Structure 1
């Protein structure tokens, strides 16, 4: 199911056992879903005690919220870095944003699958915080599309609808990607960048 499973890893948090716990939780949620995974199983996977796990995370829902927060934070960081290193024109910025997003999906497929499937179990402030964080990530794309529409680079009469369609397209790669498929990571990223620019009626890269 996952290009790097069981090696998909969240970033080290710098807080002792926390990174090990988050990665064990990611593996458990990916294998059994939120309802099927147990805190005892997560503790075992992290090589810690159940009581220590509860010192870090008072409930399974809090643990899920933190896993999903880290997934989104890593994705956002990659996107902002890629866009920051791109040219000033909207087409270049969008191309690099799409490439970075698809690259993240390929590298962290399990994390993306868990992030999509298990968010429904978050409630209250945990859900509100994650939605706000995801909105910031999505705004990277909408801001680029609005820039291109204003400058005339993108000629679509439906820029915001197109931005949503692009995000849906690239996030769905996690549901079907296989590491032994015919396209490499780079080829897949480039192909989807071209799809996105075509959807916006923007300039395609020269071969």
Structure 2
């Protein structure tokens, strides 16, 4: 049901996708779909939260294998985000383009999930600044822009492009380290 909703939101946008279409894509009845979610906005919120949770799990897994220096940790999470975006491009595009339709507690739940992802990057950059490894005078802004750099990949990446996801991940990690003014780059 949730992958059907993701596909419908990707194809037709939030406003263009109907609950009937989502039910059809999911191979269920409209009434059965309403047994699981009260409204289309709830489906969108669930899809976006689920995508962010999946992304956050990938980032945390990357951190487990990264070295102790902040530059190693930043390179690991940027690479993991880029690879996730290449593999989960539809979710990334929907997260960027359809989030604006959420309101109230549904929006707050997705913002809270996104904030956890952002905080992971902010913590790495702040620790790099505190240790003297990074020299940016703008750690919060740098962390925010690094996340935006990674998220934007979903809008421009093409699987048949001239660079592999791994090459792009390496390039984006290099750019992220430049943003935090890492002398290692």
TM-score by length of 1: 0.87
Residue 125 of structure 1 aligns with which residue? Answer: 105
How many Å apart are 1:204 and its aligned residue?
A: 3.5
Does 1:170 find its partner at 2:171? no
Does 1:32 find its partner at 2:3? no
Aligned-residue RMSD, C-alpha = 1.0
> How many residues in Structure 1 have an aligned counterpart in Structure 2?
185
Please state which structure has a larger fraction of its residues in helix. 2
CA distance in 1 between counterparts of 2:141 and 2:105 reads 28
How many Å apart are 1:158 and its aligned residue?
A: 1.7
Residue 142 of structure 1 aligns with which residue? Answer: 122
Mapping 1:31-110, distance limit 5 Å: 31-110=11-90
Gaps of 5+ in 2: none
CA distance in 1 between counterparts of 2:74 and 2:183 reads 11
- Kept after mapping to 2: 8 A contact 1:91/1:203: no
C-alpha deviations, 1:133-155, integer Å up to 9, x for none? Answer: 11011100000000000000001
Gaps of 5+ in 1: 1-20
C-alpha deviations, 1:29-59, integer Å up to 9, x for none? Answer: 0000001001111111111111110000111
* Runs of 4+ residues deviating >2 angstroms: none
CA distance in 1 between counterparts of 2:13 and 2:21 reads 12
Does 1:184 find its partner at 2:164? yes
